[in-house]
């Protein structure tokens, strides 16, 4: 566990802080509405000190961790809405092969099968075939702890980055909502305020796309790391 802990801990901490920054900004602007970007920068320069920045970094870390359940549901909703798949292999390829496995002859040489079928066969033999992809990844990660630690560390780095972008996407969406509400609160709409609102929405979607990519890379690293470890054993 030492390699896993010390290779990932500082990066997880940094990623969690970054993931919570948009939420901190949204809360700050909710209580301190600014009519322009210059006014917002002026508020930051006058109200923030080194001690405040350290305290806000800790608060951002806590928000990044506490909001993970909400941001995961937000991520799933956006994936469903945009029809994006974040699994490296679709669930039907890996999980719905029960009849095929039962009909497979016991003396079948795995080398004669294609890659997907070999992977399914190895998963069935080494970790079993649960009903959900989350349970499958959990079992495979447990297998990697004993047989392919470098792949597990790489996969968890991808996972931490995915969570960071997921939190940023959610936070930017909330920040965009605060920008929109503040337009009516200050009573003076301007092109800059509208641009900030739409800019936050665009950046939120870009962060969402990046989070999908890192989630797919996580799934790929877990499954391919398992495949090569299982073939080696």
The pLDDT score that the predictor gives to residue 189 is 72
Q: Grade residue 108 by pLDDT with cuts at 50, 70 and 90.
A: low
What mean pLDDT comes out for the span 55-59? 84
The closest of 88, 78, 67 to 201, measured between CA atoms, is: 78
172, pLDDT greater than 90:
yes
CA distances from residue 83 to 35, 77, 92, 164 in whole angstroms, order as listed = 37, 10, 16, 21
The closest of 227, 233, 215 to 119, measured between CA atoms, is: 227
The pLDDT score that the predictor gives to residue 12 is 77
Q: Grade residue 4 by pLDDT with cuts at 50, 70 and 90.
A: very low
The pLDDT score that the predictor gives to residue 233 is 65
Q: Is the separation of the CB atoms in 153 and 9 below 8 Å? A: no
Angle at 213 between CA 209 and CA 219, to 5 degrees: 145
The pLDDT score that the predictor gives to residue 6 is 40
Phi, psi of 9 (to 5 degrees): -55, -55
The closest of 25, 55, 64, 22 to 160, measured between CA atoms, is: 64
Average pLDDT over the chain, rounded to an integer: 82
100, pLDDT greater than 80:
no
Q: Grade residue 98 by pLDDT with cuts at 50, 70 and 90.
A: low
**pLDDT higher for 223 or 131?**
223
1, pLDDT greater than 50:
no
Q: Which residue has the tokens 């870390």?
A: 61
Cα distance between residue 68 and residue 62, in whole Å? 10
The pLDDT score that the predictor gives to residue 213 is 94
Q: How much is the pTM?
A: 0.84
The pLDDT score that the predictor gives to residue 218 is 93
């Amino acid at each position: 566990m030492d390699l896993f802990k010390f290779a990932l801990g500082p990066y997880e901490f940094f990623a969690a802080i970054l993931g919570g920054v948009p939420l901190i900004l949204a809360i700050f602007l909710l209580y301190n509405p600014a009519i322009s970007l210059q006014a917002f920068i002026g508020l930051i320069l006058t109200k923030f000190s080194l001690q405040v920045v350290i305290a806000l970094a800790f608060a951002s870390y806590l928000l990044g961790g506490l909001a993970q359940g909400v941001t995961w549901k937000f991520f799933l909703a956006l994936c469903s809405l945009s029809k994006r798949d974040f699994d490296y292999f679709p669930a039907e390829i890996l999980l719905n092969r029960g009849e095929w496995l039962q009909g497979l002859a016991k003396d079948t040489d795995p080398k004669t099968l294609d890659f997907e079928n070999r992977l399914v066969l190895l998963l069935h033999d080494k970790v079993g075939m649960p009903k959900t992809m989350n349970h499958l990844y959990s079992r495979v990660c447990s297998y990697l702890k004993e047989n392919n630690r470098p792949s597990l560390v790489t996969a968890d780095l991808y996972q931490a980055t995915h969570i960071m972008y997921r939190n940023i996407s959610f936070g930017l969406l909330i920040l965009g909502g605060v920008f929109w509400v503040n337009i009516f609160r200050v009573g003076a709409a301007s092109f800059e305020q509208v641009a900030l609102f739409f800019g936050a929405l665009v950046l939120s979607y870009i962060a969402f796309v990046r989070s999908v990519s890192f989630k797919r890379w996580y799934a790929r690293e877990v499954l391919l790391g398992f495949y090569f470890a299982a073939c080696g054993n």
